[in-house]
Amino acid sequence: MTHESPRNVSIALASEFSISRATVTGAVGHWFFIEGGAGPDRALRAESCLLAPEIGDLVLVNMHSSTLNPDALNSASLLGTAPFILAVLSRPQSASGVLTLPGGSRLVAGEGGNLQVVANTIQLNASASLGLVAPELKVRAAKAELVFSHLSTVAQAMQARLGNLHCIAQNATSVISRLVVRAVNSFRQIEQLDDSRAGRVRMQVAERFALQAGHASLQAKGHVKIDGEKIDLG
């Protein structure tokens, strides 16, 4: 039994494969049509070629000697000897491109430096911190969930439109210079103490004003005035 040396094996493999340049002229499915190479007129994209070839690209093609005959492309042994596009060498319009990753995820670079990440799920993991800096930030989602141990928000102006708002807080403190609230109906339920302190209080009721209490006390340091068409006491 004879064993070929690794050098002889590498020479034999090198004689079976050849590399040439070609231009992409079209694409159907996973196949790319090429022109100008030394072999067949179609090739597959190698997994290492992350930049997806486009029409007009100058590409580097690796071909097996058995596929120099165009009829060999239809043979059953094509998987092991199919021509592959190894790299995109140049592109006439280099302002855009698509990086194709395993699993179908893509990085799409557009004109003007735009970048789009296309994937089913995107997760960012940072051991120290994660920062986003941009003049404008847009977030759109059908459902969102935010979990923070501590949240601090600073905004010069804020506008919110909500269909339903449900808030649960253990303690809430607000410091507001001016508060304006407009509501169609307002309901408050306080189980224990409701303490309001103000410099002046003015209430205007268009229709009926009712006050019910187990015990009521009204104290004034100065003048008390009660005016009405009819006053019932007792």
* Nearest to 60, CA basis, from 78, 81, 79, 46: 46
Residues 60 and 85: their CA atoms lie apart, in Å, by 6
* Nearest to 78, CA basis, from 50, 44, 47: 44
* pLDDT score at 112: 82
β-bridge mates for residue 33, sequence order: 26, 42
* pLDDT score at 75: 46
* Nearest to 44, CA basis, from 55, 28, 58: 28
β-bridge mates for residue 43, sequence order: 32
Residues 175 and 3: their CA atoms lie apart, in Å, by 86
* Helices (H) then strands (E): counts for the chain: 2, 8
Q: Summarize pLDDT for 116-173 with one digit per residue, the tens.
A: 999 999 999 999 999 999 999 999 999 999 999 988 988 888 888 989 989 988 898 9
**Which CATH architecture fits 6-93?**
Beta Barrel (2.40)
Q: Summarize pLDDT for 53-86 with one digit per residue, the tens.
A: 999 999 999 987 665 455 545 543 455 678 899 9
Question: Where does the pLDDT of residue 10 fall: very low under 50, low under 70, confident under 90, or very high at 90 and above?
Answer: very low
110 pLDDT above the threshold of 80: yes
Name the average pLDDT for the chain: 84
Domain boundaries, the chain: 6-93
